[in-house]
Structure 1
Amino acid sequence: MSPATAADCATAWNASKVYTGGAVASHNGHNWTAKWWTQNESPGSTIVWADQGNCGGSSSPTDPPGSSAFVVTDAQFNQMFPSRNSFYTYTGLTAAIASFPAFAGTGSDTVKKQEAAAFLANVNHETGGLVHIVEQNKDNYPHYCDRSQPYGCPAGQAAYYGRGPIQLSWNFNYKAAGDALGIDLLNNPWQVERDAAVSWKSALWYWMTQNGPGTMTPHNAMVNGRGFGETIRSINGSLECNGGNPSQVQSRVNAYKRFTQLLGVPTGDNLTC
């Protein structure tokens, strides 16, 4: 039940601060109370925090920043991923989008929805429908440590396996993503599999800033009319494109077609790579 007037906002949540049971912090326009000891688990993305309602002057419940503007609704998200792991929350996604406002926020409404569909279609493929949080083939785990990097692999030889919606892997990617997000992922890569907001941010960081094996970021591919196929090239093109693994490409395309249909927009051209 909403209070008659909104409470003042508590001190803003700090990822590095330790909170014990009963501690209060504000995050995304709400006050939150810690249920037990917690650190670096963002309110709204874990069960650790109890929502005490909106704060700062508004008297009616509000969505987290970005969620009301995101072109995919909570209901549509659940339609896209009916068997998703509960770790992959819609709240975690919209919290992450707030850090990347250009994502699904550039161009016409059609382009915005196409980009959202493209991102989620690739995520669908990488995680088996948002089911898997970590890479399933553990034999690969020790391979993702590039010791030629000056910082090495401080979390361990086998610590940089694929995690999250886009399966972030390799020590250099964890280093770069962590530096960009202000999170120490090089020394603590496990944050990507434990905090939904961090996990989604790692995927959006790649989508918005990395060319991968392609020639442009997936974001630029979608907003500049290069098409869904170019996003595949930027994510896994060296293994899948140019006839490398057409069935994997088709899996991504099929999901993209489903999601654009759900969002009511055309797919656009250049679906494959």
Structure 2
Amino acid sequence: MRLKRLGLGRHVRAGLVGAAVLAAAGGTLFAAGPPAMLLAADATDNPITGFTGKCIDVADANTANGTAVQLYDCNGTGAQRWSSPGDGTLRAFGKCLDIQAAGTTDGTSVWLWDCHGEANQQWVITEAHDIVNPATDRCLDVRGYDNANRTPLQIWPCTGAANQKWFDSKVESPPANDSVGDGGRGDAPAGFVVSEDQFNAMFPARNSFYTYGGLTAALGAYPGFATSGDDTTKKREAAAFLANVGHETGGLTHVTEQNTANHPHYCDPGQPNGCPAGQSAYYGRGPIQLSWNFNYRAAGDALGIDLLNNPGLVESDASVAWKTALWYWNTQSGPGTMTPHDAMTNNSGFGQTIRSINGALECDGKNPAQVQNRVANYLRFVQVLVTTPGDNLVC
């Protein structure tokens, strides 16, 4: 999304609605949900269920400058009452929603601050329910697509995702069938083909970090995963994904790469932005063992999380860890010719998922034992899910 500059410090774009759309007496701004979970069209002043069902909130109702603005359960308190006097600002407790230290980079937090009317306190509400800061051309965003209480709000490039959609309860309720674009990061799909009992059966000795809840919370990042095609295709894809991550992590027992001697080897200083977290910060983490600085950056950019500067999130937040694995599975072809998701949904077979993940080291006879371990996982998991494996199991 680009905003055209018209005059000093003023920005407009087609489809923008003035911030005065907020009720003059103050309205509650709710995060939107996916289409199936929005409020009924005739509902009024109810919390929104779906992606968050939560509100923009001033942390602990603190009125001090620098107080974090976050996501929190809607409770009707003054910490969630926002208004606009028509000058482009959004205000709570008489202070303004402000971009921290007038930052302009992706992931800069927002906070409460004395109103001064500068560019970092200017917000425009669009007809698409984005809240845009024109000076940075970025949207108000829920960090990491996380719906937990106290999740910080930040600025991020406008993606159309549900974690950037906001509604004023005093003016309107989200329409029941409004299609809120999810930018590939929508809410978790209903009817995941792997039950918690089946997940537990697949990984009886798993590390407690790898929770079923962490996995299901991450599924919304890529709603096409294990929901494409017929029931057999869905189950095969879920089994294939879990078979590969099980192999990468020793049955979900390892969160980080075990050979610490390799940890300094994953920084390519020639990549954009280098290695700001340190030479040894980009070792393998999580279900897919995400590694290298450029992969942390790419995954973070796709998910709305600053993993380049904070790679440790992949080993401290189970949902983030699962999201990075789903990012690779659904968007990266690695040394292969297709993404693992495409391999399973176009019936190319499990072997092509191996090629896309580690084909340069394992396929074409390079390490048949590793390939067979992945295949053994897959054959066991399709049995757990009561389906068939299909053809082309090896690479």
The equivalent position to 2:55 in structure 1, one of 2, 8, 11, is 11
SS of alignment partner, residue 174 of structure 1: helix
Aligned twin of 1:162:
284
Tell me the TM-score normalised to structure 1 length: 0.79
SS state at 2:378 partner: helix
Alignment of 1:224 onto 2:346: yes
User: Corresponding residue for 1:214?
Assistant: 336
Note if contact 1:153-1:186 (Cα within 8 Å) is conserved in structure 2.
Answer: yes
In the TM superposition, residue 130 of structure 1 has moved relative to its aligned partner by 0.7
User: 1:226: how far off?
Assistant: 0.6
**In 2: Cα distance, 1:156 partner to 1:127 partner:** 24
For the residue of structure 2 that corresponds to 1:146, the secondary structure is coil
Identity in percent: 64
Matched, 1:204 2:248: no
Of 228, 234, 244 in structure 1, the residue corresponding to residue 356 of structure 2 is 234
SS in 2 for 1:205: helix
Counterpart Cα distance in 2 of 1:66 and 1:13: 24
Is the aligned partner of 1:136 residue 2:258? Answer: yes
Equivalent position of 1:255 in the other structure:
377
Give the Å deviation of 1:183.
Answer: 0.4
Change beyond 3 A, Cα 1:185–1:85: same
Give distance in 2, aligned partners of 1:40 and 1:112.
26
Q: Deviations over 1:43-71 (max 9, x none)?
A: 67xxxxxxxxxxxxxxxxxxxx6374100
Quote the offset at 1:131 in angstroms. 0.7
Matched, 1:181 2:229: no
Q: Is the 8 A contact 1:67 1:95 kept in 2?
A: no
2:271 corresponds, among 121, 129, 149, to 149
Q: Is the CA contact 1:42–1:195 (under 8 Å) kept in the aligned structure 2?
A: no
2:73 is the alignment partner of 1:25: yes
Structure 1 residues 70 and 18: CA distance shift in structure 2, 3 A: farther
Using the size of structure 2 for normalisation, the TM-score is 0.55
Distance 1:41 1:88, change over 3 A: farther
2:212 maps to which residue? Answer: 90
Structure ID, larger Rg: 2
| CA distance in 1 between partners of 2:353 and 2:216 (Å) | 21
Match of 2:246 in 1: 124
User: Given residue 309 of structure 2, which amino acid in structure 1 is its aligned partner?
Assistant: N
Counterpart secondary structure, 1:11: strand
Partner Cα separation in structure 2 for residue 99 and residue 188 of structure 1: 19
Structure 1 residues not aligned, in runs of 5+ = 1-6, 27-38, 45-64
SS in 1 for 2:221: coil
Q: Do 2:56 and 2:69's aligned partners in 1 also have CA atoms closer than 8 Å?
A: no
Separation in structure 1 between the aligned mates of residue 319 and residue 54 of structure 2, nearest angstrom:
21
Instruction: Report the structure, 1 or 2, having the larger strand content.
Output: 2
CA distance in 2, matches of 1:249, 1:18: 48
Kindly state the Cα deviation for residue 110 of structure 1 after the two structures are TM-superposed: 0.1
Tell me the C-alpha RMSD between the 2 structures: 2.5
Q: Distance in 1 between matches of 2:317 and 2:233?
A: 29
Map 1:258-273 onto structure 2 (within 5 A).
258-273=380-395
How far did 1:249 drift?
A: 0.4
How big is the shift at 1:151? 1.1
Q: What is the aligned counterpart of 2:197 among 48, 70, 75?
A: 75
Relative distance call for 1:12 and 1:192 in structure 2 (3 A) is farther
Give the structure, 1 or 2, with the largest relative contact order (CA under 8 Å, sep 6 or more). 1
SS at match of 1:98: helix
CA contact (8 A) 2:335 2:355 kept: yes
Partner amino acid, structure 2, of 1:150: P
Instruction: Report the Cα distance in structure 1 between the residues aligned to 2:240 and 2:282, rounded to whole angstroms.
Output: 25
Alpha-carbon distance in structure 2 between the residues aligned to 1:224 and 1:190:
35
- Residue 25 of structure 1 and its aligned partner are, at CA, apart by 3.3
2:224 matched residue in structure 1: 102
